[in-house]
Structure 1
């Protein structure tokens, strides 16, 4: 790696996060105030790894271009990546896979925001570089089980709610609590 400052790319699979939140946690479509505060992801990455970040937010815009959301992402510091393709192509997944492969050729770190196992191969390849930090932001209990094996290779995992603090109010999640974090007052 060079002596230039390292950059962290934050790659967001927004549809995956929204679907997991709606289907697996809330059991309904999330209200706007129940969605992640996307700017907190960038702040977390910047503070955690103490370096500049560049956020890329991947969107499937095959049928519609969500201009108000794109403008909001721009205002938060993200670069929106609106994509289109045939209905049988997972355009967001393909674009993130290509981006992860392109990052392998750069002196950069990456934090992926997704639960999707479609990215395991690309993340594993990034972990082959001992000088590169690779992270995953997700709801721990809903991420693909393949990510657990990558932790032995150096993948850093961050929970969107508990570590990143991406939400303004607690989500109705049931989680395994490490005994050193157990606070009985939360249950009394």
Structure 2
């Protein structure tokens, strides 16, 4: 994995004997999967609230130390528009790791895995919470940590995080079930919470467009 300089802070890790609850947030993945779940580009009102995520993390950590880290890609052209979001996230107690997005394959997965591994190597990691639906990269490392005694939690959307729901070693929490994470209910139909009378799930793609694209 590519080495990543740790700029979270010298006191970000747990003190001896205390233990640490670490949250790593995959911003590109959460934004993309949220768009898939609601069928449209997320607006400010439909994006998760980091103040609520912070309250949930602290409230569920008991007396352990907490560390929240948000990982994101930023295209140079989008930097002016991203500044306000980055500063808002930091104001809620999260460190932000930002990597330039200059090629389509640029991502932050390795940086997230490196940081999790660093905190685990330091000792005292009690719980790791991963906000990502990317099972290809995260399932195996999280299950390995779980076998070593670390509580592993994934928060994402039930429609796209099957890897966490299928694992016997990972606890899954739907992001919409985090209290206050969204100011209004998301426009989605959850298969794990269907109304008794049933529900229609609208198509995510035009049938005509599909046929014309394959012609």
TM-score by length of 1: 0.82
RMSD: 2.5
1:92–1:160 distance in 2 versus 1, CA, 3 Å: same
Contact 2:21 2:65 in 1 (8 A): yes
Q: Does 1:68 align with 2:84?
A: yes
CA shift, 1:87, in A, is 1.8
Task: Quote the residue 2:163 is aligned against.
Answer: 146
CA shift, 1:98, in A, is 1.3
Task: Quote the residue 2:45 is aligned against.
Answer: 33
2:146 corresponds to which of 112, 115, 127:
127
Deviation digits for residues 34-76 of structure 1 (CA, Å, limit 9, x no counterpart): 1000121121122123133211000112534322111111111
Larger radius of gyration: 2
Cα distance between partner residues in 2 of 1:162 and 1:146: 18
Deviation digits for residues 104-143 of structure 1 (CA, Å, limit 9, x no counterpart): 213112100011112112112211212x211111112211
2:30 corresponds to which of 4, 8, 17:
17
Q: Does 1:175 align with 2:193?
A: no
TM-score by length of 2: 0.73
Runs (4 or more) in structure 1 with deviation over 4 Å come to none
Structure 2: which 5+ residue stretches go unaligned?
1-14, 198-215
Structure 1: which 5+ residue stretches go unaligned?
none
